[in-house]
Structure 1
């Protein structure tokens, strides 16, 4: 990121930590001193803070690909319940605007929003509204604009809408998972699918549909005129615990901001923010949050909070999609679509209809101008598949099948799908079985 953005993030993180120490019981490091300018004795921007007591949760909360045993479910539930309590405490820290916290003249103020959705993945370079926002509608519109421009112009990294990255949880062994990822890489390499105009148009269609999705999500909020503070990344790397698994410190408050209440009341993603926890652990999060509410709290707010918490899983998916920090965007969007439109609505037909409209045909033609030349794509494919003849053949055949029901109405118009080919874990497993059988026959 540009140095100027780095300075803003440093100032905001320091201010957030100082505010939390002064106005809450949330365990965070103490900031002794900070400076966002390089014009100081050290010569670089810095934050001096206390050491976090305990040890990071990442040492024991093993990821799915680890050969070491992970924490037992009751211990995980204990930690998640504490995160629910911390979320309740964050819900009490309210501001009249959505944005990030800064410290000026010994007071704390809300200025432009430095959330992950506004800053990460090169989005800091986009010309979008950054707040501070006076309403949740302005905030959501800004994130949708960021996602739309991201889909249209920025690198999409591993994001292929119709070909989600394989998930470790879908495979019995890590070796099988690695093989699925290799097959996925082969598939998206053919035709450079990820940064192609076809993939970009899929994301743009999905983004445009989110306006309606968000409107149908709305629930009555306890304090709709104010916005709570939120930690941007409650991963196992940023949570410290003691020997009894009591949370001792929450670190890394860069990209923190205030947000609409429903987005706060979402279960954390563990071990990393893009990983969805089980339904059982989500209940522990809700129970921890509700248990923290004082007995004097009116029954109506408790009911409203519980209803929002129970819908938190949906907002978690929405947040992942808006920030584009997931590996399975199509399943995320499909869940949001079904939640708001019901199972009777055909998501595939919606996409096909939109892509045929005059508006998206024109947009497709514009985006297509940025596609790599066929010569460059073929050269990269040749380099990638050198000495991988079988894998090259499989990837080509799969690409041919994915485009089987695609028609060309005119050379100047985009390809018009009659169906939507979406990869899944079953597909990669079937291909793996085929390869195994082929190799046995070759012996």
Structure 2
């Protein structure tokens, strides 16, 4: 007998769940077993329905092969999220879900770790078309309908509200940097930091990382960079190739050009297995050392006297719910939240801003200004601590830094170039193009004795020549005129990259190749 699809991701006691929900609300409830659970990277979700049309959310973390974190970190992250939601609900007016019941382990009648909470009113901001590159097929929301367009004014309205929410979070201060937990008496404490930069993408398995709590910003930044270096040396890097950022649709005039660039990028990184090889790993290690120098000059470190505000680390469009008038109705998914330096809180809108494409766009500047205006308007009315221009400037640096250390985007080179331009403006060339400096800088660092030694050590894990060729054959498929041409182009580009220390496989390269290939 085929089990109902509601159990797609885990076997659990549905009757126990319905009994729990019914007992808590004193009403009968049901769950549609014919509907598959919704699922993200970390969790799966089903809905419990009451007779008066109220719905509750039952959310459980993935387990087994789908698990995003180890069992121990899954449990701690769930417990911390519950504590954080309760704290935010108690000490602010930020709209977050109500917690009705939870268990951080599978040791309960339902049989899985879970949170039973209220359903976010409204719909996620991801249902709207925040950015649509030219000639791209319209994106689809999760109901299969075309995403709804958003005007510039509507986007600014959302960003202003996010600024107001950040202002409220800036008042929730703690004496250390770390994640919130509750002890047996219900008291809130700051424990180890469950930041995505320290736990996601397999980093919860890294043993040589200080996970806090941290007394100051310097110790916190040192830990983030240490986790980044350990990731670069020990964990899979796919799809991150430092000097070959994945093409972004926003950079191309039409969808066909973007698809062609993406295909050529795939061919290029397949030759020589450029992603998980020692040369690429070394580039990330060099980037880490340079980031440390840029982010930790003595004068830039926050004074911890006033404590550290609470931050939401996963503020993307899917976690922001709005009503029909684009009023924010709920912020969900507070797992991995922690107290953070103030500049990091101010940079939290970066996940929304980054969707706009390159950080230098006029639209991005307008949205940043709207966020700042919302923050300052709320701060001036309810918080005497006004943020200075130096902290806002620091936030501009933290934004690309956080994308880098978390490996959030696949455009590591461009994120580094943005950070480099902000931190080292006097080292730019006359046309203010940092990319001309960066490859040469990395090449100079790679020639240093300690990095030559590191490259040798990393090379011990490189694939053999036979294995590389086997992977290349699998990537290009059976020999044909088309596959032969694709491999020839990729090999020529590889040769050029090895001969030219300033080589970067970015949009300029792919657009030039497209133009060249179209010539008669």
Q: TM-score, normalised by structure 2?
A: 0.77
Pick closer, same or farther for the CA change 1:5–1:295 going to 2, 3 Å: closer
Alignment gaps of 5+ in structure 2: 1-68, 139-145, 429-436
Partner Cα separation in structure 2 for residue 367 and residue 223 of structure 1: 38
Q: Per-residue deviation at 1:11?
A: 0.6
* C-alpha displacement of 1:132: 0.8
CA deviations 1:329-377 (Å, max 9, x no partner) are 1122122223223343643333222111111111110000100011011
SS at match of 1:281: helix
**Secondary structure of the residue that 1:253 maps to in structure 2?**
coil
- How far the C-alpha of 1:295 sits from its partner, in A, is 4.4
**Is 1:371 the equivalent of 2:473?**
no
| Partner residue in 1 for 2:371 | 285
* CA distance in 2: counterparts of 1:351 and 1:175, whole angstroms: 33
Residues in 2 aligned to 1:217 and 1:378: alpha-carbon distance in whole angstroms? 48
Name 1:350's counterpart in structure 2: 441
**For 1:224 and 1:421, how far apart are their aligned partners in 2?**
45
2:85 maps to 1:37: no
Q: Following superposition of structure 1 onto structure 2, how do residues 427-442 of structure 1 map, counting pairs within 5 Å? A: 427-437=509-519
Equivalent-residue separation in structure 2 for 1:5 and 1:157 (angstroms)? 23
Match for residue 255 of structure 2? Answer: 174
In the alignment, what sits opposite 1:142? 223
Q: Where do 5+ consecutive residues of structure 1 fail to align? A: 406-418
In the other structure, the counterpart of 2:123 is 55
Aligned pairs for 1:27-176 within 5 A:
27-64=95-132, 65-67=136-138, 70-104=149-183, 105-127=185-207, 128-176=209-257
Report 1:203-282 matches (<5 A): 203-216=284-297, 218-219=299-300, 224-266=305-347, 268-271=349-352, 278-282=364-368
Following superposition, the deviation at residue 270 of structure 1 comes to 4.9
**Could you tell me whether the CA contact under 8 Å between 2:154 and 2:326 is conserved in 1?**
yes
> 1:311 & 1:436 partners in 2: Cα distance?
45
Query: What displacement does 1:434 show?
Result: 2.7
**1:347 and 1:433, CA in 2 relative to 1: closer, same or farther beyond 3 A?**
closer
- After TM superposition, the runs of 4+ consecutive aligned structure 1 residues lying more than 4 A away are 217-225, 270-277, 295-298
Q: Show the 5 A alignment for 1:365-404.
A: 365-386=456-477, 387=480, 388-404=483-499
Task: Please report how far the alpha carbon of residue 426 of structure 1 lies from its aligned counterpart in structure 2 after TM superposition.
Answer: 1.7
- Determine the structure 1 residue equivalent to 2:29: none
Find out whether 1:15 has 2:98 as its counterpart.
no
In 2, distance between residues paired with 1:205 and 1:18?
Answer: 41
Classify 1:63/1:217 alpha carbon distance in 2 versus 1 (closer, same or farther; 3 Å): farther
Which residue is 1:332 aligned to? 415
Look up the SS of the partner of 1:292 in the other structure: helix
Secondary structure of the residue aligned to 1:338 is helix
Measure how far apart 1:70 and its partner are.
2.4
Instruction: Give the distance between the partners of 1:118 and 1:218, measured in 2 at CA.
Output: 25
| Contact 1:274–1:320, Cα closer than 8 Å, also in 2 | no
Tell me which residue corresponds to 2:398: 315
1:294 match: secondary structure: helix
SS of equivalent residue, structure 2 residue 126: helix
Compute the TM-score of the two structures, normalised by the length of structure 1.
Answer: 0.90
Give the Cα separation in 1 of the matches to 2:301 and 2:408.
28
Provide Cα deviations, 1:59-117, integer angstroms capped at 9, x if missing partner: 12344355256200000100110000000001100011111111112111111111100
Partner Cα distance (1:256, 1:156) in 2: 24
- Larger mean CA deviation between 132-141 and 258-267 belongs to 258-267
Distance 1:217 1:251, change over 3 A: farther
Structure 1: distance between partners of 2:447 and 2:355? 33
Q: Secondary structure at the match of 1:302?
A: coil
Mean Cα displacement is larger for which, 233-242 or 425-434? 425-434
Question: Structure 2 vs 1, CA of residues 251 and 73 (structure 1 numbering), >3 Å: closer, same or farther?
Answer: same
- Across the aligned residues of Structure 1 and Structure 2, the Cα RMSD in angstroms comes to 2.0
Indicate conservation of the 8 Å contact 1:100/1:256, yes or no. Answer: yes
The DSSP-based 3-state class of the residue aligned with 2:100 is strand
- CA deviation map 1:155-184 (0-9, x unaligned): 101111111111111012222212211111
Structure ranking higher on relative contact order (CA contacts 8 Å, 6+ apart): 1
Q: Deviations over 1:358-398 (max 9, x none)?
A: 11111110000100011011011112112412111111111
Deviation for aligned residue 1:243: 1.3
Note closer, same or farther for the CA distance 1:39–1:174 as it changes in structure 2 (3 Å cut). Answer: same
Q: Deviations over 1:251-270 (max 9, x none)?
A: 01111111111111115135
